[in-house]
Chains A and B, each alone.
Chain A
Amino acid sequence: MAATTTAQAPADAQRAASRPVGLTILTVFTALMLLVATYMAFIYAPTERTMGAVQRIFYFHVGAAWAGALAFLVTAIAGVVYLITGKRSWDIVGHSSVEVGLALVTITLTSGPIWAQFAWGKPWTWDPKLTSAAVMWLSYAAYLMLRQGLDDPARRARFGAVYGIVAFASVIMTYFGVRFIEATIHPVVVGSSAGTGEGDFGLATRMVHAMVFSFITFTFVYATLLWHRIRLERLSDRVARLKAHFFSQSG
């Protein structure tokens, strides 16, 4: 037992030290995409007529919101798979995805009010979209607190999976439930025919380009961050294992 672990340890450490080529490529690529997305948001897209420059916040605001929602969907799916297979790797995916998703939703929730302060004259309203974004943030902050409050790793993983699934259902219901019933004042930024109805901004073609590119970019940002975060968790597992091994030997 001791012989195998000591033989394994250097190989383990080596694996931890070397970053996979794919991740390096992805990271560099994502950084480049972010640069291009910034260019498109600031210069390529025309200035919106009624709101002026502040409308450019939308590109990253919406991109981050999409990627955040995607992150929580991934957590829900990882939760289901974890409950079926019981594999730690799926628990890692779910946990990591929540953390990255929270960072992304934080971007959405802070950039939105800055725009709203100008457009609506107040930073916040209890509009369905805003409500569900806030609920989303709070639910997943609670997810992290739940994990923090549990010591047994198996239970932490199971409860995380269960809560991740329930939280996703609740976000969906808060959003769709309220959205279909009440008129939202939040502009429909995507999926609207340009220039119809009140609250629509009729995005010009270049604006659509910038928006679509931002969506793709933030998907890559999410994937990159998730990969890094998963590796971090693996590393943490390895350190914990080594620690336990070491203390059991010396103790």
Chain B
Amino acid sequence: MFALFVQSSTPNTVSYLILGYVIIGAIGLGYVISLVIRQRNLKRDLEMLRRLQEEEKE
């Protein structure tokens, strides 16, 4: 696979490429994780509120 990147006349810029995609991936993943965490927290709040409400009724 790497033979494809490195050709005689073209400069070897694979390290730049990898750095770029690592950063792209990190930002994308970071945002998805932030969504997941926020959702989990909200679900926990929802669950707690429901439990409190049921206790109130009893």
Contacts and interface: CB of A to CB of B under 8 A. Distances in A.
Interface of A: 6, 9-10, 13, 16-17, 43, 47-57, 60-61, 64, 100, 103, 106-107, 110-111, 114-115, 117-118, 221, 225, 228-229, 231-232, 235-236, 238-239, 242-243, 246, 249-250
A57 B39 contact: no
Contacts of A229: 35
Nearest to A106: B27
A50 B10 contact: yes
Given A57-B20, A114-B19, A115-B20, A249 B35 contact: no
29 contacts: A9-B50, A9-B53, A16-B43, A17-B43, A43-B1, A49-B7, A49-B9, A51-B13, A52-B5, A53-B12, A53-B13, A53-B17, A54-B14, A55-B13, A57-B16, A57-B21, A57-B24, A107-B23, A110-B27, A111-B20, A111-B24, A114-B16, A114-B20, A114-B23, A115-B20, A232-B35, A235-B43, A239-B49, A242-B50
Specify the main secondary structure of chain B where it touches its partner.
helix
Contacts of B52: 246
A236 B10 contact: no
B31 to A, nearest CB: 4
B45 to A, nearest CB: 5
Contacts of B56: 246, 249-250
A242 B23 contact: no
B48 to A, nearest CB: 10
Interface residues of B, number: 34
Given A114-B20, A243-B49, A52 B12 contact: yes
Given A52-B10, A238-B46, A103 B28 contact: yes
B28 A107 contact: yes
Contacts of B38: 232, 236
B10 A47 contact: yes
Contacts of A55: 13
Contacts of A100: 31
B16 A118 contact: yes
Nearest to B52: A246
A54 B39 contact: no
A204 B56 CA distance: 68
B14 A53 contact: yes
Contacts of A231: 39
B24 A107 contact: yes
A247 to B, nearest CB: 10
Contact of B5 (A53, A117, A246): A53
A110 B16 CA distance: 12
B13 A52 contact: yes
* Residue of A50, A114, A115, A118 with most partner-chain B CB within 10 A: A114
B13 A54 contact: yes
List 9 tightest A-B contacts by C-beta distance, closest first: A54-B13, A52-B13, A57-B20, A103-B31, A54-B16, A52-B10, A114-B20, A53-B17, A53-B5
